[in-house]
């Protein structure tokens, strides 16, 4: 196993400063949405706001839900493509880890058990772990686990060291740019990720079928442990439905942070990883869309398991970062995406529609204020009901993928309860997005990155990890 130090003097690894134009845009979105919401309290004009928002949401949601049933590359097609290719794609698995000794051993063990190998048993993958200034001997844990599980020969450690380096996953990934990778495909995993033995084999099928960018299906470990963990599990399923449908419709489907997979040449052409990307997944999604017109395939059967966020405080911090990252992505890359000659008009409209949903929470906030001032609550309640209804519609449809421990589909009663739970959980965004807009507009200096803590629960249960045939 090799170890190397990264170059801490990379000029691209400097903290970003929020441009004044972004501050103005955030303030306009916050104020404009709030003003539209206030109009909903008007005795005559107010009825138009809930009708317009509900109509637009339904017009986008129903096609997405229907299209998710017919993806451009189904699991069965991906499997056939891999079986029929002479040269199977190889993988560089890149993990950015900071103080992750508790969980990274498990990930190394899961990587070692991958059945994606040549006829002689040699792996069709390598593992690159970036130790980002850890103080708990994460590097030692990786070295020991790699030796114990007999993959030290294909494991590399990159030691990211230096003072004043920017924090965050995107910044850590700059220590493992595509030119350092030997695989045809770069796969990015979080340190707490857990993999089933067939993960790489299933993922490889999508690249064999012609995809250049793929995102794994994110699953939540220990989802039965609490209401909060279960809600996050169903939220990921709903998000998968949304992105799978957007992909099937030709829209700008996107990566999700745990399980990013991209052809190394495409990643290099897009400029590699960027230290100032608050959310590296959607940042890269927009860059490859604008550059190459590339959309992200969504793999239903290639699953990455991860820990839930355990407390509401940590969840709030995480979602606040996600929301601000989405806003920054829209302001920085939105113009390039909507004017890209590489993208068809439908994909550009899809991007605009997806970004436009960030304007809904300020509208709801304004409607709430208007209802308090005027006492007319009908429009406010109608807007909230529409928001909950759209979440419930997508949630109910997406939960068709879920299975009980015995492998059978959810019974209607359980499916309904979980639908109501994920719909209520999504109301968190009604608070998070306005706060993120205010932070972006008024904060001085960069956002402080707060690392999520991991405890290392058991991996996917036996009932959920059977290598059975997946649906389309």
Q: Which domains are seen in the chain, by residue range?
A: 2-7+73-343 (3.90.550.10), 30-67+354-442 (no CATH)
Higher pLDDT, 36 or 124: 124
Lowest mean pLDDT among 26-30, 104-108, 326-330, 459-463: 459-463
From residue 459, alpha-carbon distances to 26, 116, 207, 399, 464 in Å are 41, 19, 26, 22, 10
Greatest Cα-to-Cα distance within the chain, rounded to the nearest angstrom: 75
> What number of other Cβ atoms are within 10 A of residue 6's Cβ?
22
Joined together, the tokens standing for residue 71 give 């993806």
pLDDT for residue 261 is more than 80:
yes
Find out whether 257 and 306 touch, Cβ atoms under 8 Å: no
pLDDT band at 456 (very low <50, low <70, confident <90, very high): confident
Find out whether 193 and 304 touch, Cβ atoms under 8 Å: yes
pLDDT for residue 446 is more than 70:
no
Lowest mean pLDDT among 88-97, 103-112, 462-471: 462-471
C-alpha 115/C-alpha 189 separation (Å) is 18
* Mean of all residue pLDDT scores within the chain: 91
Annotate 132-149 with b (16+ C-beta within 10 A) or e (fewer): bbbeeebbebbbebbeeb
Helix (H) or strand (E) holding 112: helix 101-112
pLDDT for residue 124 is more than 60:
yes
Give pLDDT, residue 1: 78
Give pLDDT, residue 12: 43
Query: For 332-357, what is each residue's pLDDT tens digit?
Result: 999 999 999 999 999 999 999 999 99
Joined together, the tokens standing for residue 46 give 């107010």
Give pLDDT, residue 457: 62
Q: At residue 273, what are phi and psi to the nearest 5 degrees?
A: -85, 150
Annotate 173-211 with b (16+ C-beta within 10 A) or e (fewer): bbbbbbebbebbbbbbbbbbbbbbebbbbbbbbbbbbeb
What are the DSSP calls for 217-255, one per residue? EEEETTGGG-HHHHHHHHHHHHHHHHHHHHHHTT-----
pTM for this predicted structure:
0.92
* pLDDT, average across residues 432-439: 97
């Amino acid at each position: 196993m090799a170890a190397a130090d990264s170059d801490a003097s990379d000029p691209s690894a400097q903290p970003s400063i929020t441009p004044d134009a972004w501050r103005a845009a955030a303030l306009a979105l916050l104020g404009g949405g709030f003003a539209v919401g206030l109009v909903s309290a008007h005795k005559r004009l107010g009825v138009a706001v809930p009708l317009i928002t509900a109509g637009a949401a339904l017009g986008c949601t129903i096609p997405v839900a229907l299209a998710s049933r017919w993806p451009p590359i189904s699991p069965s097609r991906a499997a056939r493509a891999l079986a029929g290719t002479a040269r199977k794609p190889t993988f560089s698995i890149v993990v950015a880890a900071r103080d992750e000794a508790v969980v990274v051993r498990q990930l190394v063990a899961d990587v070692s058990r991958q059945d994606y190998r040549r006829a002689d048993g040699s792996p069709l993958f390598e593992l690159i772990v970036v130790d980002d200034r850890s103080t708990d001997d994460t590097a030692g844990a990786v070295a020991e686990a790699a030796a114990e599980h007999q993959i030290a020969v294909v494991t590399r450690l990159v030691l990211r060291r230096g003072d004043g380096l920017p924090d965050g996953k995107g910044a850590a990934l700059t220590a493992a740019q595509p030119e350092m990778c030997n695989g045809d495909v770069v796969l990015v995993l979080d340190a707490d990720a857990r993999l089933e033995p067939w993960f790489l084999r299933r993922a490889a099928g999508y690249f064999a079928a012609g995809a250049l960018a793929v995102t794994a299906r994110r699953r939540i470990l220990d989802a039965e442990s609490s209401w909060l963990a279960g809600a996050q599990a169903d939220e990921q399923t709903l998000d998968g439905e949304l992105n799978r449908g957007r992909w099937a419709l030709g829209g700008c489907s996107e990566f999700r942070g745990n399980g990013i997979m991209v052809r190394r040449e495409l990643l290099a052409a897009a400029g590699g990883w960027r230290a100032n990307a608050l959310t590296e997944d959607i940042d890269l999604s927009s860059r490859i869309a604008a550059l190459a017109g590339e959309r992200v395939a969504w793999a239903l059967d290639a699953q990455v398991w991860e820990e839930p966020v355990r407390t509401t405080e940590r969840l709030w911090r995480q979602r606040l970062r996600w929301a601000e990252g989405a806003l920054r992505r829209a302001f920085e890359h939105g113009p390039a995406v909507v004017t890209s000659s590489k993208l068809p008009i439908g994909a550009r409209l899809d991007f605009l529609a997806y970004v436009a949903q960030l304007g809904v929470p300020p509208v709801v906030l304004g409607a709430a204020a208007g209802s308090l001032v005027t006492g007319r609550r009908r429009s406010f309640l109608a807007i909230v009901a529409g928001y909950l209804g759209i979440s419930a519609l997508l949630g109910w449809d997406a939960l068709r993928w879920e299975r009980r421990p015995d492998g059978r589909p959810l019974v209607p009663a359980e499916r309904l309860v979980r639908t109501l739970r994920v719909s209520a959980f999504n109301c968190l965004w009604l608070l998070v997005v306005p706060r993120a807009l205010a932070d972006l507009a008024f904060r001085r200096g960069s956002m402080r990155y707060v690392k999520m803590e991991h405890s290392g629960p058991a991996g996917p249960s036996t009932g959920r990890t059977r290598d059975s045939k997946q649906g389309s």
